[in-house]
Amino acid sequence: MRNALRALVLVALAASPAAAQTTPPPAADILSSGRRTMTAERMRDDEHIVLDGVLDEAVWGRAQHAGEFIMQDPVLGGTPTERTEIRIVFNKDHLYIGATLFDSEPDKLKGNTRKRDEFLSADDRFMWTMDTFLNQQTGYFFEMNPAGLMADALMGPGGTNAREWDGIWNARVLQSAIGWVVEIDIPFRTLAFDPNAPAWGINFQRTVRRKNEELLWTGHQRNQGLRRMATAGLLLGLTDVTQGLGLEVKPYASGNISDAPGRVPAVGRDGEANVGLDVTYNFTPSLRGVATVNTDFAETEVDQRLVNLTRFPLFLPERRAFFLDGATFFDFTNRAFFSRRIGLDGRGQPQRIDVGAKVTGQAGRQDVGALYVRTGDDGGALGEDFLVLRTRRRILRQSYFGALYTGRATRGQPDVDTRHTVGADMRLATQSFFGNKNLDGTAYVLWNSTANGEKDNLSYGMTAFYPNDVWEAGFAFTEVQKNYDPAIGFTPRRGFRQTAPSFYYNPRPFRHRRIRRFSFGAEADLVTDMRNRFVTRGFTLRPFRVELHSGDTAEVNILPQYERLEVDFPISSSITLPAGRDYSFTRYRVAVSTANQRFVALRPRIEWGGFLSGTRREIVLEAGIRPRPGVTINLANEWNHVALAEGTFNTRLHRAIIDTQFSPFMYLVNNIQYDSVSRVLGWQSRFRWIVVPGNDVFFVYTHNWIEDSLDPNQKFRTLDRRGAAKVVYTRRF
């Protein structure tokens, strides 16, 4: 592990400008591929864009718009009911997109949400994707709505999507009698790209929400879509652009004060102030390195509570910015690398990170990722060194093969060996199966070191998917041996073989006035031990699902299940089910979802039937309320009544997330949660002000109370509380 930094440097040197050059396909071949094209208009040296949502600069008048969109829904291949014009102009430092989204009823535009990176399931929206390497496997995703919301994501091979990525870009929206206009400024310094590519892949999509109308510039077939870059169009004319020196410096200052009077032992009030620094350098336009010193995650959102009635730990997503930047370059099947194993203890509490560095990007036909993090001794947690190396070599049009290495070393423990994990994977994908169908297959194998050289330390598997309209099918097989334990991975269970087939038929009634699609099908989860004896045999049967043009859906499922307990299962604080028992039971589920654009959108679900040695009734009610633009209230409630032969218990989970969005650049989020298992009531209030993109101010207050059943005069008492502030500044050179 002492050579971790050397490994990072070697990755960077291997991807130096000389090594990063790759011979692109001839421009003539690209242009003759049949893909739709548009050409960016270069600005004159004396021209400037004022970002105001008004496309009145002369260069917009010279730029030709991309051409008409094509309807995907409700009428496949139909003519859009509303017109859209897209133009792109650029200078050496910036790419500008101007989108005019005409609307015959502008007073009916839906643009309630303003918060950065919020999902737009209830609003009109304009989305676009860019394949800046022209490799048809990776790209950038962006979207906006009439209220000016800005959202973005990194797209990786196989459909991976890192929406938590926050690129530095800016935009303005103007609503008027003709509809709405979006004016967008994306600095080339924000993007990694191949300067020798003859074109960029690009695509656009528009949603007219009140009609549930989906319009695409290209790739409108239902087995294609905006994120499938192999069917994107081509953006021509981008030449002589620059990322400047490629250097970005991001200092921050933070302070916090906290105490934990309800913990055992109690922790008195204490505060601290921190300063830190992130430095980013683009070794090439395709490859970037990031170093962080004295990393602080004071601004991180709180995890959502979950009630777990299974025998296995639940997966919680990464939320910390340093690990999310470039995360798609580390993706590996079976979660062999899970960044939440770094800098968080077993209770999810942060551990100090002294220094971290990473290199991500593309070098020739290789995707590369290298990560080193050093944590410090903190609160009883020992300091550790983490190293992750990941590479993928792209082959054919949508395929790759790759490798992964992770290492984890504990400092100050000479009798504890460094833990290693090594793996290889591959993906073979095509959109030309039987002419125009998608077929996607993957395979992987992983090995990890063990303390005493034990065997049975492998995991391997394969998948095959046929994701098309109207038929969908899939098959997955995984084996995880009993001593498989990746040093920086997420493995909820070991010593099993799993087979998971699925098959669905999704017919669409021809031009029905109300019904958009039905769905029928089934999937199975078949798990055996290493002697091929069933431990889980679960089926999800879908006899009926309907989706309406309005966006409302309804679904019925039948869930036959078999479980055999290999170890004792403490399902509640007072009930433990003994090992060796097996159970067969059937459950039933009915779920309804009303369209999100409604003033009040409801998502009720009820599930009932057998459960292990008895019965279980689960009721879930979620609601989204949009009282006015800029305010959203999301409520989630879950009740479980479990009646087993060994005893009866109930669980409750309640959550309220109240977003107050003053503008696309300033918002306050209050997240209140309670669950009856932990008996903890939690509140986080999080304020973010984006002064300008890249410069942020955060204020975060978190307070947890624990339910005190022994004191009738005090139902809840403070468990812990923490207030924090953070200021981030970005300077680019």
pLDDT exceeds cutoff 80 at 217: yes
Confidence of residue 279 (pLDDT cuts 50, 70, 90): very high
Q: Quote the strand ranges of 396-533, DSSP E.
A: 399-410, 419-433, 437-448, 458-467, 471-480, 496-505, 515-518, 520-528
pLDDT exceeds cutoff 80 at 709: no
Structure-model confidence comparison of residues 675 and 416, the more confident one: 675
- pLDDT tens for residues 543-576? 999 999 999 999 999 999 999 999 999 999 889 9
User: What rounded mean pLDDT belongs to the chain?
Assistant: 90
Confidence of residue 453 (pLDDT cuts 50, 70, 90): confident
CA dihedral 211, 215, 220, 224 (to 10 degrees): -80
Query: What pLDDT shows up at residue 310?
Result: 87
User: Domain spanning 35-236 has what CATH number?
Assistant: 2.60.40.1190
Query: pTM for this structure?
Result: 0.85
Q: How large a percentage of the chain has pLDDT more than 70? A: 94
Separation CA 239–CA 244 (nearest Å)? 15
Respond yes or no on whether the N-terminal peptide bond of residue 146 is cis (omega within 30° of 0). no
Query: What pLDDT shows up at residue 432?
Result: 86
pLDDT exceeds cutoff 70 at 610: yes
Tokens of 34: 């049949």
Structure-model confidence comparison of residues 406 and 383, the more confident one: 406
- Regarding beta strands 233-236 and 695-707, do their DSSP bridges make them parallel or antiparallel, or are they unpaired? unpaired
- pLDDT tens for residues 680-699? 999 999 999 999 999 999 99
Q: Quote the strand ranges of 482-581, DSSP E.
A: 496-505, 515-518, 520-528, 534-548, 553-564, 569-570, 576-577
Q: How large a percentage of the chain has pLDDT more than 90? A: 70
The answer to which of 63-72, 299-308, 436-445 has the lowest mean pLDDT is 299-308
Q: For Cα atoms 105, 106, 107, give the angle at the middle one, nearest 5 degrees.
A: 90
CB–CB of 374/355 below 8 Å?
yes
- pLDDT tens for residues 138-177? 899 999 999 999 999 988 887 777 787 888 999 999 999 9
Query: What pLDDT shows up at residue 347?
Result: 63
Confidence of residue 507 (pLDDT cuts 50, 70, 90): very high
Query: What pLDDT shows up at residue 573?
Result: 87
Structure-model confidence comparison of residues 559 and 21, the more confident one: 559
User: Per-domain residue ranges for the chain?
Assistant: 35-236
Structure-model confidence comparison of residues 394 and 60, the more confident one: 60
